Amino acid sequence: MVLRLPSALLKQAEIFANKYWLSTTSCAASSVKMSEYLTHQKSLPRLPVPPLHPSLEKYLLSVRPLLTEEEYHNTVKIVKDFGAPGGLGVKLHTMLKERAKVTENWLEEWWLNSAYLDFRMPLVSYSSPGLVFPVKTFDSVDRQLRYAARLVAGALEFKSLIDNYSLPLDKMGGQPLDMSQYYKIFSTCRIPGFPKDSLIFHGEAPVKPKHIVVAHNNHYFKVNVYGEDGRPLNERQLLTQFQNVVAQSSVPKSPIGILTTLQRDVWAKAYKRLRKFDAKNKESIQAIQESIFLLCLDKTVSDAGTLNRKTHVALQTIHGGGPTGNAGNRWFDKTIQFIVGGDGVVGLTYEHSPAEGPPITRMMDHISDYLDRTKGNKWLPSTSVEEPKKLRFKLSDDTMKDIDEAERDLQILVDDLEMSCFDYDAYGKEFIKSQKLSPDSYIQMAIQLAFYNIVYHLLVINRTFIFFAIRQINVKKSPGLGGIHEQSLTNLGQYALKRLLQFSIYLLFELRKRPRQWQMAINIPIHKPNKDASCMGSYRTISHTCTHGDNYPEKNYFPSFGS
């Protein structure tokens, strides 16, 4: 006897078989790779505790350029007492070494709190970077959505490498680096609080989120990007989802997302009011926080007020153009917000606290590569695609006042931020490195010189720091270096400044002479330092004619940032 089953039942059986086979084989492969990943992480050395007295000596060197003679001598006395046998410094150092024995990284929690979660200024402009993809030209909304679908597909492919522990290890000098930050960038959100914020990692939950949130005209939609079979939606399916979103949100709503631009204490209070006022608000906020990432489908905004197109694009990724732009079409607490504007603006904003730049830029490079190497649907269609779900908010009078306050405060930030983006193609980091110089140190010195040349005194770097890689040890977060050194600009007068500038020019050009192409004259004003800021003092110009070589093939940015 032959048993004939209905075609629908056969289809379900096929889906189940494929799902079971895919899940069992992928789980087996993932378990092996996860074991390798955990072994790698355990092999990384712990962050060492630096010795006390050399650290105190370095501290004195760092503060010397900033203090008067009297202040410095007083500081030396305090430091000497602090580091004396039986002194407070010795006791604290002993406690620090004990802490290092029982934690993977004795600094991580303190650094995360002091540098990020304790910081009370708005995330916008102060903390969250903006990153830019090549600018596009969309001749229709459909083209915008097609590109967005491809971008999301590339991001999901990168996420699959992370989820399956298939991402090749980052290395520096041949040494593998800590990879833990890659597992913090998806489904992560910062939660406003008082006196400090917190982070929640939904990607570490036993059941990982399967949805992203799409923002359009200040509406938010929960969009599942995985089907019932566990496979990600392909580009065609994603496009259909996004078309559905746009069709349901043609009329702009109150910009609830602009609340995330508030000063953190203010936002923490507004956040509590918003969640408490209606159960739907709490549910919608939770959907945003749990989402893999945010996709912001932005409206076209005029760039007439900016210096050039690149500057306009950069500002859109930093603050969305303010209250009259796309700032309300964001949720700045989310770690990753992809931006695809109708005017061709493409980039992302990322909340800095869960991860440093390298995981984000590597993701952007992967997406750029995906866009270049794929010309259509890469995956088979997923099954049982759910319709987008609109996230509802019910706003109280107090929340409406909070939105008004956020709009006023953000406009002040937008007006206060001056930016100009341009291409500098004379030379780049590879040339600087060829002269045995650190590109980071070089840029910091350039900033110090420029600042000194304007205001005649040293720049104390505050919350502007150089990322330095200590991922060769088990570290979840890499602290930055900020400050100045006595060797850089101590007692910098007119003659010293002139000599330092001349030496910089010598390094940049005389050591790399090529008699072809073009010549460039550099005119640098030299002002005499004077306590009276109104006195310009003497003014001289260093005129230096030098040769410049071939157009350097190097890029000063990751491939993602190129145009």
Residue 99, H or E segment: helix 88-102
Between helix 357-373 and helix 141-163 the angle, nearest 10°, is 120
Q: Say how far apart CA 405 and CA 100 lie, in whole Å.
A: 44
For the chain, the residue count is: 563
**Rounded distance, CA 224 to CA 230, Å?**
11
What SS3 state is found at 387?
coil
Residue 352 appears among annotated catalytic residues: yes
Judge whether 385 and 224 are in contact, CB under 8 Å.
Answer: yes
Place of tokens 């087996």: 28
Distance CA 20, CA 14 (A): 10
DSSP assignment letter at 22: H
**Contact status, residue 351 vs residue 190, Cβ threshold 8 Å:** yes
Residue with tokens 């109150």: 254
Which is catalytic among the residues 352, 366, 527, 548?
Answer: 352
Q: Kindly report the three-state secondary structure assignment for every residue of 441-489.
A: HHHHHHHHHHHHHHHCCCCCCCCCCEECCCCCCCCCCCCEECCCCHHHH
**Do residues 293 and 212 lie in contact, with contact meaning Cβ atoms separated by under 8 Å?**
yes
For residue 165, what are the contacts with CB-CB under 8 A and spacing of at least 6? 30, 33, 34, 36, 37
Alpha-carbon distance 221 to 203, whole Å?
Answer: 19
Q: Which residues are catalytic?
A: 352
